[in-house]
Amino acid sequence: MPHQPAPNAKAPATENSSPACNRCQDLDELDFDFSFAYQPIVNFFARTIFAHEALVRGINGESAASVLSRVTDENRYRFDQSCRVKAVEGAAKLGIQEFLSINFLPNAVYQPEACIRSTFEAAHTYNFSKDRIIFEVVEGEDVSDRPHLIDIFTEYRRFGFKTAIDDFGAGYAGLNLLAEFQPDLIKLDMDLIRDIHLNKAKQAIVGGVVQMCRDLEIEVLAEGIETKAERDFLLSCGVTLFQGYLFCKPAFQAIGQINPDAWC
């Protein structure tokens, strides 16, 4: 059954003890609305859904780009906070029981301990366990202060959230970032995945990343899987977590159904 909001719910004291921050209250409401599509991430060998990634969309299913184009320096903080709440609310209403992966904007997080309060409140209000939330950031995100990103990740882990680096291999700071902080997951960039079974350079790069992550005890997820040939090569490397159109496209305000042929 889908989760229902608890009336007048308040976050537990242990999760509500982070320092107060008036940044959110001081800002105006967003002058646009948005929603989410959810795309499953599968564990191939277990034949199960591992997680669902919340992907921002317009209220009628418009593209993420149409929404993100309206995010400015002035409303970035409010947008980031709203994303967390709406993603958790939507997942709870759909009855999602697996992990929920939420993208966040590191430049919109001023005080990690304070900025996480809305996530705690949403998780408690909608009865969605915080232990099932993954916070991911794109490797190529324009992070003005990398130590600040490390601090965010460290605090999120301390509060019980999982962490992930998205589009790994597409940015310029991936290896340096891993040297300072080891997330729970990395998501291989889809450009590395595309036709990997035909490209020796991609094979060597991905093979090296997978081995490095194995040594660092980081799980590897391959996104953008479109063909069985791509899937099979990655399986041969030891990758078992997959996301992509081969398995399921993002479903707007819904849980997508896995293509049964993708397991074969």
| pLDDT tens per residue across span 228-253 | 999 999 999 999 999 999 999 999 99
121-160 tens-digit pLDDT: 999 999 999 999 999 987 655 555 778 888 999 999 999 9
The pLDDT-based confidence of 175 (bands split at 50, 70, 90) is confident
216-229 tens-digit pLDDT: 999 999 999 999 99
Query: With respect to CATH, is domain 13-258 assigned 3.30.428.10?
Result: no
223 strand-pairing partners: 243
Tokens of 202: 């991609």
Exposure of 176 in the CB half-sphere (CA atoms within 13 A): 8
Q: What is the pLDDT of residue 120?
A: 94
The pLDDT-based confidence of 8 (bands split at 50, 70, 90) is very low
What average pLDDT does the structure give for the chain? Answer: 88
Q: What is the pLDDT of residue 176?
A: 80
The pLDDT-based confidence of 14 (bands split at 50, 70, 90) is very low
List the chain domain ranges: 13-258
CA-nearest of 257, 165, 140, 156 to 220 is 165
Q: What is the pLDDT of residue 68?
A: 95
> pLDDT > 90: what percent of the chain?
73
CA-nearest of 220, 228, 264, 221 to 245 is 228
Query: Are 220 and 213 spatial neighbours (Cβ–Cβ below 8 Å)?
Result: yes
